[in-house]
Amino acid sequence: MASTPHQIADNYQQVCERAARAAEAAGRNPADVTVVGVTKYVDLAQTESLYKAGCRDLGESRPQSLWDKAGAWSTPDVRWHLIGHLQRNKVRRTLPFVSLLHSLDSLRLAETINAEAELIDRVVDALVEVNVSGDVSKHGFAPESVETFLQQVATLPHLRVRGLMCMAALEGDTEVARANFASLRQLRDDLSPNLPATVALTELSMGMSGDFETAIEQGATIVRVGSSLFA
């Protein structure tokens, strides 16, 4: 059964409150954490209900779903996040809609985005996806490959790296997730002193409905929450 607008509003408020408490417990400013409402399993009506509840950052995993929702619903203050894998043949249609790409996972994809962004006179913000868990089913760079990639992507004028993204291991409990998130934060800290001038690692996108508070404890600036909003 679909959640009602009232339920969605209550859920969103509770998630924001939990995120704020997690930030405060970690000695962080709650304003430094963005909750992205992941709408991949709900229809446009429920997505609009989440927007009316106050959520302005919305995430989709599939480019086609992003095209459908963003194309059918013209709301200028929504920031759409693509959090799933992006194939190069879908870049051109995706770029006009996306505010932040969370899943930059290859040099070829980066080069395609740069070329397509140049055609529309835009600089695209992106996060580098890192496979910190080593799961063979996941996309993303091995941690030891990220430094070289950042040097390569720094030469692309229409693509701007703003941070890193990861997913916790598919198999594992909260402690496994905590270790994964700590690994991404440590990678950011290790890379930061020697970044190219055009690269920033200010954003860490990590944590979903089941572990976003742990991710905030470990330094997440963006959490991707779906099922907790629409339960």
Q: What is the pTM of this model?
A: 0.96
pLDDT for 66: 96
Low-confidence residues in the chain, pLDDT < 70: 1-2
Q: What digits encode the pLDDT tens for the residues 71-84?
A: 998 788 999 999 99
Tell me the C-alpha distance between 90 and 49, whole Å: 28
Amino acid at 109: L
pLDDT for 203: 98
Tell me the C-alpha distance between 231 and 26, whole Å: 27
- Domains of the chain: residue spans and CATH: 5-230 (3.20.20.10)
Torsion of CA 131, 133, 134, 135, to 10 degrees: -100
Q: What digits encode the pLDDT tens for the residues 75-115?
A: 889 999 999 999 999 999 999 999 999 999 999 999 999 99
Tell me the C-alpha distance between 230 and 154, whole Å: 39
